[in-house]
Structure 1
């Protein structure tokens, strides 16, 4: 039985949302990810697309094969009898190297001052935490992650920067992320990873929603070495746990 309350919200003739409580919660999102997988296989002929997010599951269906009323009725019946799989909730943990050099971490001092700690303590706190990937979006390969420790959960900038370098590792309140391409952005930049997060020829990163990210501190020498290996396709992210 599903422990969370949920609502069905129409989003057009062929789309609906299953909306769960408005919160950033790992267990709730793991349920959403699990439901997405199960619904894809259960309603293979009706569903045309399914998009899990922080607290919603957006489902598009083929209007030629079913109606909104028929499809929503089937979903409600499915959910009423659904038993979550509590054994499959850990996900993979990817170790992502990050250089926290001041050239890359342009907001390190401000975030440290916000948390009333030193820059060194900030880096340690940021890099010893595991971050759950709630959803992919905004940009190709951009992982929305959490949860940032409360002490350093500084809100985003009041006015976004016009350009953020690819690989920039950032936080915004309780959220964490990595910019895959040059982009405007208002998140607080703490460092940069040397790995390529997105290319048109290889658009999907190795990690996905439901996985975890652990940041590993590296120096400028390691940054340059990994960047060179990555450019030649010779660097592979370490998976700490599967």
Structure 2
């Protein structure tokens, strides 16, 4: 497995960032996810949280157990061991239904025009890619995913909307994502999933960093039917698992 250069910087009284080369790269992110898994597997009471980002891992620690020297040493010891390698790559692909009707994706015509495509061609391109979940953030369950084909990678809005419906699917440059709850946002909205992506009463998220998401185009009638099935607990996300 390729080794990546890194630095460790302090970002708070009990938090450090492990910073890797600044890039959006699946292999580097898997490297970060592997480090995250090894740290969490320790079940160390001194580690309060470990949160992977695009090219960083943020680690919060209990200052009664670790000081900066000890936490730096712990991270370096893990990263520099010869045994630090990904033995196999387990790929989990979740199929998320999305309705690309203009009533649910108000920017779909603009994104199609940006790519010099018909809406039908845009939908085909967006649904052909398996998008890697680099990180969860901004909102509970908001997955930052890539990579969007350059032809449809339209930059975000100059002026964000003040309210976006939960389930909206958008594009912001090379990223695509789903809004799990109603919120402000500046991504180009091209559709909506009927699935409830986040529920504060039952906060378990249906996907995680390291997963792959593939969108499946559905009609407006299918949208309503799936929404009803999902709200009653009858709908199950199709999941494929591949070992490499």
- TM-score normalised by L of structure 2: 0.94
Q: Deviations along 1:36-80, whole A, 9 cap, x unmatched?
A: 010122361321111111110011112111211122123212211
Alignment of 1:205 with 2:205, yes or no, is yes
For the residues of structure 1 that align with 2:96 and 2:29, how far apart are their CA atoms?
22
The answer to whether residue 69 in structure 2 is matched with residue 77 in structure 1 is: no
Task: Judge which range, 36-45 or 59-68, deviates more.
Answer: 36-45
- Tell me the residue number matched to 1:149: 149
Secondary structure at the counterpart of residue 11 of structure 1 = strand
Q: What residue in structure 1 maps to residue 238 of structure 2?
A: 238
- Runs ≥4 in structure 1, deviation > 2 angstroms? none
State the Cα distance separating 1:84 from its structure 2 match: 1.6
Equivalent-residue separation in structure 1 for 2:117 and 2:123 (angstroms): 10
Q: Does residue 1:4 correspond to 2:4, yes or no?
A: yes
Q: Which runs of 5+ in 1 are unaligned?
A: none
Deviations 1:61-109 (A, max 9, x none): 121112111221232122111522141x343100000111111111111
1:180 aligned partner: 180
**Maintained 8 Å contact 2:78/2:84:** no
TM-score by length of 1: 0.95
SS of corresponding position for 2:134: strand
- Structure 2 residues without counterparts, runs of 5 or longer: none
Name the CA distance, whole Å, in 2 between partners of 1:14 and 1:23. Answer: 26
Residues 105-160 of structure 1, C-alpha deviations (whole Å, 9 max, x = no match) = 11111111111111111000001111100111111111111110111100000000
Looking at structure 2, the residues matched to 86 and 109 of structure 1 have their Cα atoms a distance apart, in angstroms, of 44
RMSD of aligned Cα (Å): 1.4
SS in 2 for 1:3: coil
Paired residue total = 241
Q: Which residue of 2 aligns with 1:128?
A: 128
Structure 2 Cα separation of the partners of residues 198 and 71 of structure 1: 33
Alpha-carbon distance in structure 1 between the residues aligned to 2:220 and 2:177 = 21
Query: Conserved in 2, the CA contact under 8 Å of 1:164 and 1:182?
Result: yes
